[in-house]
Amino acid sequence: MDKLVIEGGVPLHGEVKISGAKNAALPLMASALLAQGSHRFHNVPRLRDIRTMQILLKNMGAASEHDKVMEIDASRIGSPEAPYDLVKTMRASVLVLGPLVAKYGHARVSLPGGCAIGARPINLHLKGLEQMGADIALDHGYVIARARRLRGARITFDQVTVTGTENLMMAACLADGTTTLKNAAREPEVCALADYLCAMGARIEGAGTPTVTVTGVDELRPSSCTVIPDRIEAGTYLAAAGITGGSLRLTGCRPDHLEAVIQKLIEAGMSIRAEGDVIEAAANGRINSVNVKTQPFPAFPTDMQAQFMALMTLGSGVSLISEKIFENRFMHVLELRRLGADIDLDGRTAVVRGVKHLSGAPVMATDLRASASLVLGGLAAKGVTEVTRIYHLDRGYECIEKKLSAVGARIARVKE
Ligand code: EPZ
């Protein structure tokens, strides 16, 4: 396994090109199952999760090539199945469920099981498919879903679910009749998926609002699109500028996807200017301690909670960080403490008391965004920080050590 070795204390300065969004690319790849033929996706990031989705699709018979463009040919789907050994490494595999049932009338998808940040059930996905007429059975850890043809339904989500909205939106495209999804997720990745489904011939209205309406059609045709920029990667680099006392210019961004994060970073004392697809961010001396509560888009995203907490460890006072989406997304707290952070946990709220500086130490990544927060801590800490188990990081950050080195970080990937 690899680890990252970071010599901290260096302010970052320079330009970072933001990659395509993992959480936009994954549902787009799954949507290729809805239409036979060749789908082409531009700006797909080179990440571990993307490769996992490629393997999953290949296992079903959908070949894919990922050169400058990703091309997926879903003309010959054999076994509509997502096996446990793949699903357990990437929960987003569940996104093939809706398309397979809608297009092929049956699917056998492993239950994802728990993960580091929470139980993360898929009951809302399954309940929605049942409301659309699918027979759902659980068998030896697998979901067996069958439907001659899904029918439109009025579905209200008990709570906002991003992949639940995406799964049912895809399933509804080929259903008989109209489906209404209420309390739907409004994330940019959901809107990007809806745009692509419409390019394939689907009839969808209201994506990006709490109520999405899908009028089923008989067939979809393959198309192409460009993956939107990764708002969480961008937010992570903005936090890197803040925590190191530097200034970064991010290009290839969508600032409108990042407004809640930008607002909180400005409250934390940073200077941030957004124009077109560029965000310029600079630290301004001491960091203000501000409170954050994670909520669905357009509010502050849970995927930025760990990175923002790293910044708050150097705050001027006390920051209360409430994690309202996942029940166990504070695994990074124990590791940040090893870097000298002063953090107490009170249920789903972290009390972060700012310290003068962090000190380098060996730390261990536990999940994707926790590993990003440890890298940020290491960039600011005096001395050397080693981050192990960075396969978590490789799931969602393209060439992170190259991008950071290019703006002055003293960081290297070494074989453990
Ligand atoms: C998506 O996960 C993202 N993953 C996550 O990003 C992100 O943290 C999350 O949305 C929240 O924004 C992808 O898009 C691939 P949810 P998802 O369904 O869809 C509960 C990353 O770092 N819930 O919106 O799995 C669930 O337990 C990853 O890139 C149910 O109870 O999240 C959670 O508490 C991590 N039953 C809440 O809803 C369900 O059927 C929100 O989960 C579905 C969800």
Nearest ligand 1 atom to alpha carbon 117: 35
- Judged against a pLDDT cut of 80, whether residue 98 lies above it is answered with yes
Q: For position 112, what pLDDT does the model report? A: 86
Q: Which pLDDT score, from 0 to 100, does residue 156 have?
A: 98
**Res 95: pLDDT:** 97
What is the spatial distance between Cα 27 and Cα 267, in angstroms, rounded to a whole number?
A: 33
Confidence (pLDDT) at 116: 76
Mean pLDDT for all residues in the chain: 96
For residue 282, give the H/E element and its range: strand 278-282
**For the whole prediction, is pTM greater than 0.75?**
yes
Query: And the tokens for 285?
Result: 């001396």
pLDDT over 90 at 115, yes or no = no
Measured between alpha carbons, how far is 17 from 303 in angstroms, rounded to an integer?
A: 20
C-alpha to C-alpha distance for 100 and 81, rounded to whole angstroms: 9
Buried b (16+ CB within 10 A) or exposed e, 106-117: ebbbbbbeeeeb
Instruction: For residue 318, give the amino acid letter.
Output: V
Q: Quick: pLDDT tens for 179-216.
A: 999 999 999 999 999 999 999 999 999 999 999 999 99
The 10 Å Cβ neighbour count of residue 286 is 14
Centroid of ligand 1 to alpha carbon of 358 (angstroms): 31
**For ligand 1, mutation pick of 109, 161, 183, 330 (most atoms within 8 Å of CB):** 161
* CA dihedral sign of residues 306, 312, 313, 318: negative
From 325, 327, 366, 393, mutation site for ligand 1 pocket: most ligand atoms within 8 A of C-beta: 325
Mark out the alpha helices in 287-367 (DSSP H runs): 305-312, 331-338
N-to-C CA span, the chain = 5
The residues that are catalytic are 115
Q: What is the DSSP string of 170-226?
A: HHHHTSBSEEEEES----HHHHHHHHHHHHTT-EEE-TTSSEEEEE--S-----EEE
Give the pLDDT confidence score for residue 301 in this predicted structure.
98
Does 114 score more than 80 pLDDT? no
pLDDT attached to residue 1: 84
pLDDT tens-digit map of 355-413: 999 999 999 999 999 999 999 999 999 999 999 999 999 999 999 999 999 999 999 99
Asked if 55 contacts 86 with a C-beta cutoff of 8 angstroms, the reply is: yes
Please name the residues in contact with 128: beta carbons below 8 A apart, sequence gap of 6 or more. 153, 155, 157, 164, 167, 168, 171, 181
Residue matched to tokens 């001491």: 286
Whether the CB of 323 sits within 6 Å of ligand 1: no
pLDDT tens, 312-368?
Answer: 999 999 999 999 999 989 999 999 999 999 999 999 999 999 999 999 999 999 999
Tell me what percent of the residues of the chain surpass a pLDDT of 70: 100
Using CA atoms, how far residue 272 sits from 59, 62, 85, 149, 238, in Å, is 45, 43, 43, 50, 9
Q: What is the DSSP letter of 405?
A: H
Ligand 1 close to Cβ of residue 302 (< 6 A): yes
123 burial via Cβ count (<10 Å: 0-12, 13-18, 19+): exposed
Number of other residues whose CB lies within 10 A of the CB of residue 402:
10
